[in-house]
Structure 1
Amino acid sequence: MSQPALTPRRIALAGATGTIGQAVLRQLEAEGHSVTSVPRNALADGAKLAAVMAEARPEVVISCIASRSGAPRDAQAVDYAANAALLQAAQAAGAGQFILLSAICVQKPLLAFQHAKLKFEAELAESGIGYTIIRPTAFFKSLSGQVKRVAAGKPFLIFGDGNLTRCKPISDGDLARFIAGCIGNPDALGRILPIGGPGPAISLQEQGELLFRVADKPPRFRSVSPRIFDWAERILALGAPFSGWFAEKAEYARIARYYATESMLVLDPATGEYSAELTPEYGSETLESHYRRLLEGV
């Protein structure tokens, strides 16, 4: 994708308080754009949202919002409804481009939040506004949950043999630069753009080996069967018809099983298999450098 000359724009950014949203905000401000952060509570209040957008007069709207839990009710409210409200307000305010941060996992939708994201993606594509949908692979943050375990001398947990899944993780900063590069870019308009960080694709086993090497500790692994999530889901699903709590927990088990068994790479439509070769790479920040920074603070 080519990079056009930088032209400062008026931009409305939703999700600016999240991890990725904060990185996008910093990047936009560094590039000299005029940025209005859309308050989260305004996304559920039509009048307040309209007032924010009318004052901002955005040329471009960027959405980095996402449901925090992935539970069906939260997914419907945020991944779909809040984005739909933002789109309507963007069009009413005369915005020419809507950039959506989605997720690569919607290629194989088995979960409530994935269906909610796809529902909005379809609505955005049919809206008539210039749109760009960005589907990143795994974030560095999602691969950082075991740093403290390893630093404390505990084993790194893997599913199965540790090679069930692969991904090309991308840093917050690189993803923010990619998103900013889509602003006013004709190569990005009307497109769904999967994006990963610099390769190669890495398995869970390889993530652990990398983390132990950076921590200067001998590798220790403990295998967990992904079937544990199947059992948990089946048990919790028994109570789902009678309790929202059980239904929500059953969905969490399904989410955990999904991430334990599905790669975060482009799904090759010809083969139905995940493909590292088809997954675009972007940026320069590596998972190794990220792990080094985290271990310095442990």
Structure 2
Amino acid sequence: MESTTSVLVTGATGFIGRRLVTELTDGGTAVRAMTRHPERYGGAGEPVGADVNAPDTLPAALEGVDVAVYLVHSLDHDDFEARDAEAARSFGAAAARAGVRQIVYLGGLGDEDEDLSPHLRSRREVESLLGEAGVPVTVLRAAIVVGHGGVSWELTRQLVKKLPAMVVPRWTATRTQPIAVDDVIRYLAGVIDNPDAIGEVFEIGGPEAMTYLDMLTVASEMANGRSIPVVPVPVLTPRLSSYWLALVTDIDVTTGRNLIDSMATEVVVHDRRILDVVPGDPLPYREAVRRALAERLAEGKAV
């Protein structure tokens, strides 16, 4: 059954965006796929050219839109906090002028009373700035998203594949709650134009809270058929860690540092209200890893 709701998805060519656009269009929803280069777009939905960092491009993209999904961030920039704040404020204002009735945002987990990293602090600020002009915002807060093409998962995969043994800093003992990308897409689609989700903040995650070291160990077993030896190092700063990641993976230093800064903060789910709004059991971590590896193999790439 086709939906009468018109949805704009920002970041439509990204890891989450392209999957969400496909999911929504397959379900009969009219989707505008927002990208800076619509002439190059080959995915699902109707391509529309706009840039959250160029406010004058937003009105045309948002015209007639009921729900806007905001999936933009600037982790590959040193000044990402200022850039993301300005973009969120501009987008929220443009959405209000266009009569958008809901903004859906994928943010980051983390307790309010924690000393949040700049990355997580920025995600939290974006939540409020998107709604500053009056459009109700639905927030889904997640930790590591596991799926082929995701930056966090790609870090994990490359580390366990390329290293015969791993020197790990203290932050690998921090607990997190990874979630399969399939579940993220299911939750995003499920809260769009859902009256029970309007203006709400939900925490989303897989069924297991685990340390980053646990995640690396399981990923190594599944990708390599064996665990890799681990050597803990008491002192390895985020900056040194980011240079280390840049040496052994193809993740750039700035993105790596901004991600690692967040890994000293425990990010686990305490509130499971999302299960009442979008029912269904989330996938275990092992199944999420299996799917990510299978999708990579399906593209003809070695795991």
Q: Does 1:206 align with 2:206?
A: no
Partner of 1:176: 185
- Structure 1: stretches of 5+ with no match in the other structure: 234-248, 267-274
Q: How big is each residue's C-alpha offset from its partner over 1:194-244, in whole Å with a ceiling of 9 and x where there is no partner?
A: 1012x22222332233233324544222334362216859xxxxxxxxxxx
Matches of 1:251 and 1:87 in 2, distance apart?
25
For 2:68, what is the secondary structure of its paired residue?
strand
- Distance in 2 between residues matched to 1:251 and 1:22, nearest whole Å: 21
1:61-100 paired onto structure 2 within 5 Å:
61-69=68-76, 71=78, 73-77=79-83, 79-100=84-105
Q: Give deviations 1:10-43, integer Å, cap 9, x for gaps.
A: 0111111211111111111111111112234532
Residues 29, 103 of structure 1: CA spacing in aligned structure 2 closer, same or farther, 3 A cutoff?
same
For the pair 1:263 / 2:281, whether they are aligned, the reply is no
Amino acid at match of 1:263: E
Asked if the contact 2:8/2:31 (under 8 Å) is kept, the reply is yes
> Partner of 1:192 in structure 2?
201
Pairs within 5 Å for 1:219-230:
219-225=227-233, 227-229=235-237
TM-score, normalised with respect to structure 1: 0.74
Distance in 1 separating the partners of 2:211 and 2:271 = 11
- Quick one: which amino acid aligns to residue 206 of structure 1? D
Deviation at 1:46, TM superposition (A): 2.7
Larger radius of gyration: 1
> Which residue matches 2:126?
120
> Deviation at 1:254?
7.0
Q: How many residues align?
A: 264
| Aligned equivalents of 2:9, 2:103: Cα separation in 1 | 10
Aligned partners of 1:38 and 1:76: how far apart in 2? 22
The CA deviation string for residues 92-115 of structure 1, in whole angstroms up to 9 with x for no partner, is: 111111111111147435433433
Structure 1 residues 257 and 226, CA gap change in structure 2 (3 angstroms): farther
CA contact (8 A) 1:158 1:204 kept: no
Aligned residue number for residue 147 of structure 1: 157
Q: Provide the identity percentage.
A: 20
Give the C-alpha shift of residue 81 in structure 1: 1.4
Q: SS in structure 2 opposite 1:263?
A: coil
Paired with 2:296 and 2:60, the residues of 1 have a C-alpha distance of 44
Which segments of structure 1 move beyond 6 Å, counting only runs of 4 or more? 249-252, 276-281
Q: Secondary structure at the match of 1:227?
A: coil
1:64 & 1:21 partners in 2: Cα distance?
A: 7
What corresponds to 2:140 in structure 1? 134
Shift of 1:190: 1.6
Structure 2 gap segments, 5+ residues each: 37-49, 242-252
Match of 2:12 in 1: 16
Deviation at 1:257, TM superposition (A): 4.4
Residue 101 of structure 1 pairs with residue 106 of structure 2 = yes
Q: What is the CA RMSD across the aligned residues, in angstroms?
A: 3.3
TM-score (normalizing by structure 2): 0.73
Residue 7 of structure 1 corresponds to which residue in structure 2? 3
Query: Is the Cα–Cα contact under 8 Å of residues 127 and 137 in structure 2 kept in the other structure?
Result: no
Q: Evaluate the alpha carbon distance shift between residue 167 and residue 277 of structure 1 in structure 2; reply closer, same or farther with a 3 A threshold.
A: farther
Distance 2:283 2:239 in 1: 40
Q: Hey, what's the Cα distance between the residues in 2 that align with 1:175 and 1:291?
A: 14
Give the whole-Å Cα distance in 1 for the aligned partners of 2:212 and 2:119.
Answer: 24
The answer (yes or no) to whether the contact 1:229–1:254 under 8 Å persists in 2 is: no
